[in-house]
Amino acid sequence: MGALHEGHLSLARLAAAENSEVFVSIYVNPTQFGVHEDLDSYPVTWDRDMTMLNKLDDELKAGGKGRITTIFAPSTKIMYPTLPPDSTIPGAGSFVNITPLATLLEGKSRPVFFRGVATVCMKLFNIVEPDRVYFGQKDVQQSVIIKRMVTDFHLNTEVRVGATKREEDGLAMSSRNVYLGERRRKAGIVLSQVLRAAEAAYKMGKKDRDDILMFAWYVINDRIMEQDGLAETERARFEIDYISLADPNTLEEVQTVNESKGAVLSGAIKMLPLKAVVDGEKLGLGDDKVPVRLIDNIVLEPSRK
Amino acid sequence: MGALHEGHLSLARLAAAENSEVFVSIYVNPTQFGVHEDLDSYPVTWDRDMTMLNKLDDELKAGGKGRITTIFAPSTKIMYPTLPPDSTIPGAGSFVNITPLATLLEGKSRPVFFRGVATVCMKLFNIVEPDRVYFGQKDVQQSVIIKRMVTDFHLNTEVRVGATKREEDGLAMSSRNVYLGERRRKAGIVLSQVLRAAEAAYKMGKKDRDDILMFAWYVINDRIMEQDGLAETERARFEIDYISLADPNTLEEVQTVNESKGAVLSGAIKMLPLKAVVDGEKLGLGDDKVPVRLIDNIVLEPSRK
């Protein structure tokens, strides 16, 4: 969807390491934004994206591996040739639905999101006929749904998932991070810290849901109290949407981690708008007036194969 | 779905005339049968089907055209690899939905039907990767939906539609006709006669919906009165599900036929179970105790291109 960052580039690098030709698709897909969601405010940074991709291709040229041969940036009339794209439920048009996967986690607060994602990916795969497709681990539910779609519809491609790229302090890279000013940016690392805490419990041998998530909730409560103690000009409040411990293939919540399957720890938080700012404060795009939803996850690897 | 008749063979012949290799798929797809529909009673006639296809292939061999190279008869675990097939609404699984097309006409009384058809065809096309796919004109809504799916999802195949095969008296061939005993079989020609009457009005220059469908309803009322006048041992009652005059691409009802697009005249009737039979009467499969739904259609060609 453009607004490229190091996470996207790492996927293109991975693709170039495994293939001779890399197609990069850039398309802000309207059907994955709900009627009241932020399609119009989604950052579109075409010139900057092209500069980044050209620079990356120079790097690939030097490395003697695959190259970026195509930027595929279709019009909406190409992607939705018959009816105009529709983000309502049920929605007029031709859609792929992957249920119940699409209704869990992110799907709970974004009911049309994965319908839009699966649909546009099906079209994209049919147009490009790629040997392999590359998705980022950060959007874990997306990659699980695309894998399911490839299996269930017998699509002739291989789904590859690249590791989540993070800032130095652990915040998962996201096109949405540009909306975070310094204060919200700093507070936003809570999500990765929460997931790390729960992961640590798993690594110490905990297998039961409560034993693992207890550590996550401990960190959450600690950070909430920390914010409560600050003045409005220093505070960056957040709300927890969900913290999940789920089966890696079905994304259904698990009570105990199956040692031969492992699990996915994931979460979503909403960084709330700042109530008061101070002169000279470093603000994000949109002046920190809009809530920003952040997601992150960690794969708990099987401890026994 | 097996239970082959001359209509299916005509499609294989058409395919062999246009291609070197013909794949025949035989699969009774569970997701297109509603929970209360007749999946279990659908006629499965494997040995007879194979005999017919072998005979056809001998004919093709002699004709020097394409040949039947593959019979593709997958198990349900191949077609639905992850979750068991589900015919409920909303239905757990991976599905293609083509709306509003799938909700019109046949979709009104069979709400999961075209979801099942589109889904299984998407899988089939991905497995086979055919240059061309062949569907019968008799299932006009199916072919319109498959064409829409191919366009909207950029599937790399061409949809070809073969003419409806008919019995000598005009009844459209269907696997379901075996459920019609002599009496219901004879009365069942009402549908094709009704459509022919309306087509005649169009050919005489009528363009308005009422002027065209008036002829259809005239024939319907005439046949209903005819049945009313018969004794229960002679009577074969039917109910009209719909008579439609629709746009050929959207299948939305039209008030006036657009001369450059033409229209599709279609209908569905339900042959009701016989209330009383006489000794020695020629009965259909199931002894004419189950209602049998018949569909048919006629394309009104554009009168001006």
Q: Determine contact: B255 vs chain A, CB below 8 A.
A: no
To probe the interface with B, which of A154, A156, A157 has the most B CB atoms within 10 Å?
Answer: A154
CATH class of A178-300: alpha beta
The residue among B151, B153, B252 with the most chain A CBs within 10 A of its CB, best to mutate, is B153
List the 51-110 stretch of B: residues with Cβ below 8 A of A.
80-82, 90-100
A64 vs A199 pLDDT, higher one: A199
Asked if pLDDT for residue B304 goes beyond 80, the answer is no
pLDDT, tens only, B69-91: 999 999 999 999 999 999 998 89
Rg of chain A, C-alpha, whole Å: 20
- CB-based contact B82 A156, cutoff 8 Å: no
Contact assignment for A96 to B96 by CB distance below 8 Å: yes
Domain segments of chain B: what residues? 6-162, 179-300
| pLDDT of B305 strictly over 70 | no
Using alpha carbons, select from A41, A52, A48 the residue that is nearest to residue A9: A52
Q: Which residues of B24-37 are buried (b: 16+ CB within 10 A; e: fewer)?
A: bbbbbbbbbbbeeb
Q: What is the pLDDT of residue B216?
A: 96
Rounded-to-integer distance, Cα A235 and Cα A177, Å? 18
Q: What percentage of chain B reaches a pLDDT higher than 90?
A: 93
What CA–CA distance (Å, rounded) separates A88 from A111?
A: 9
Could you identify the residue written with the tokens 């309803």?
A: B217
Interface membership of A134 toward B (CB under 8 Å): no
Q: What is the 3-state secondary structure (H, E, C) of B222-261?
A: HHHHHHHCCCCCCCCCEEEEEEEEECCCCCCECCECCCCC
Across chain A, mean pLDDT equals 95
* Residue B146 near residue B115, CB atoms below 8 Å: no
pLDDT value for A152: 98
* pLDDT digit string, tens, across residues A151-184: 999 999 999 999 999 999 999 999 999 999 999 9
**DSSP conformation class of A20:** S
DSSP state of B163: P
The predicted structure's pLDDT at residue A116: 98
Architecture of domain B6-162: 3-Layer(aba) Sandwich (3.40)
Q: Is A227 on the interface with B (CB under 8 A)?
A: no
Structure tokens belonging to residue B247: 């746009």
pLDDT value at position A303? 84
pLDDT the model gives residue A28: 94
Residue A98, phi then psi, degrees to nearest 5: -115, 95
- Cross-sheet strand order for the sheet of A238-246: A238-246, A263-271, A292-300
Query: B250 to chain A, minimum CA–CA distance in Å?
Result: 10
Whether the CA torsion A170, A175, A176, A182 is positive or negative: it is positive
CA-CA distance, B146 to B124, in Å (whole number)?
A: 12
What average pLDDT score do residues A268-286 get?
96
Instruction: Give the pairing type, strands A158-162 and A132-136.
Output: parallel
Q: How far apart are CA A123 and CA A96, in angstroms?
A: 10
Give residue A143's pLDDT. Answer: 98
Question: Residue B254 pLDDT more than 80?
Answer: yes
> What integer pLDDT is reported at residue A63 of this predicted model?
84
d(CA A153, CA A145): 12
Sorting pLDDT into bands at 50, 70 and 90, what band is B260? very high
Q: Give the type of residue at B68.
A: I
A28 to chain B, minimum CA–CA distance in Å? 17
Identify the pLDDT of residue B303: 85
Rounded to whole angstroms, how far apart are CA atoms A153 and B95? 9
Within 10 A of B61 (CB to CB), how many other CB atoms are there? 11
Q: What is the mean pLDDT of residues A226-254?
A: 97
CB contacts of A151 in chain B (<8 Å) are 81-82
What element of type H or E holds A108? helix A106-109
Tokens of A185: 């940016």
A36 noted as active-site residue: no
pLDDT grade for B65, boundaries at 50, 70 and 90: confident
Q: Is pLDDT above 70 for B243?
A: yes
Of B90, B127, B153, the CB nearest to A154: B127
Query: In this structure, what DSSP letter does residue B171 have?
Result: P
The mean pLDDT of chain B is 95
Q: Cβ–Cβ of B81/A126 closer than 8 Å?
A: no
- Can you give the pLDDT at residue B44? 77
The mean pLDDT of A94-117, rounded to a whole number, is 97
B260 Cβ neighbours under 8 A, 6+ residues apart: B302, B304, B305
User: Would you call A117 an interface residue with chain B, using a CB distance cutoff of 8 Å?
Assistant: no
**ω before A81 within 30° of 0 (cis)?**
no
Look at residue B42 and tell me whether its pLDDT is greater than 80.
no
| Interface predicted TM-score (ipTM) | 0.94
Q: What's the pLDDT tens digit per position in B142-183?
A: 999 999 999 999 999 999 999 999 999 999 999 999 999 999
Task: Give the 3-state DSSP-derived string for B97-130, with helices as H, strands as E and coil as C.
Answer: EEECHHHCCHHHHCCCHHHHHHHHHHHHHHHHCC
CATH topology of domain B179-300: Pantoate--beta-alanine Ligase; Chain: A,domain 2 (3.30.1300)
In terms of Cβ atoms closer than 10 Å to its own Cβ (0-12, 13-18, 19+), residue A88 is: exposed
Residue A98 CA to residue A145 CA, distance in Å, equals 7
Sign of the Cα torsion B71, B75, B81, B83 reads positive
